[in-house]
Amino acid sequence: MGANSKSEGEWRAILSPEQFRILRQKGTEAPNTGSYNHHDAPGVYGCAGCGTPLYKSTTKFNSGCGWPAFFDAIPGAVSRHEDRSMFMTRTEITCTACGGHLGHVFKGEGFDTPIDERHCVNSVSLKFKEE
C-alpha cells in the first residue's frame, strides 16, 4: 500500500493537527510564521507527510513573500495542479509521492533566479534534513 492510499484516519494519526490541515486539507499557514521562512542551512527539504525529498537548499531564496520560496524542485518530486479556489486560478503544488499540499507556484515575477518561478511552500509541509 503506497503513501497516497492512506485513509484520512491514518493521516490524522501520523500528522499533527496543523500538518493535517495544510497537507491533507490544503490549508495555508499564516505569513511570516513558518520555521523555514528564514532558514538557510545546507540540506534537503522533504515532505513532512512521507519524507520524500522535495527541494535542495541551493534552490531556496528570500522572496520576501512570508513563506519559504524555492525556484525549482527536485525532478519529479513535485506535481502541479490547477487550483480555482478563492476566486482565482493558481497552480497548486503537491508532493508527487503522497499528494500532500505544499503551496503554490508563481511564474514571471522577475526574481533574480535561474528559473523565473517561485515555489511558495508552507513550512508545515516540509521537514528539513541537514547535509
Give the CATH fold of the 3-27+41-130 domain: 2.170.150
d(CA 102, CA 41): 20
- Give yes or no for residue 3 having a pLDDT over 60: no
**Which residue do the cell numbers 522533504 mark?**
46
Q: Is the pLDDT of residue 127 over 50?
A: yes
- Please, is 91 exposed, middle or buried when counting C-beta atoms within 10 Å of its C-beta (0-12, 13-18, 19+)? middle
Domain boundaries, the chain: 3-27+41-130
Over 60: is that where the pLDDT of 86 sits?
yes
Residue 1 banded pLDDT, cuts 50, 70, 90: very low
The overall average pLDDT reported for the chain is: 95
34-60 pLDDT per residue, tens: 999 999 999 999 999 999 999 999 999
pLDDT, position 131: 86
48: which DSSP letter?
Answer: T
Q: Is the pLDDT of residue 119 over 50?
A: yes
Q: Which of 74, 68, 116 is nearest to 95 (CA)?
A: 74
Query: Which residues have a catalytic role annotated?
Result: 120
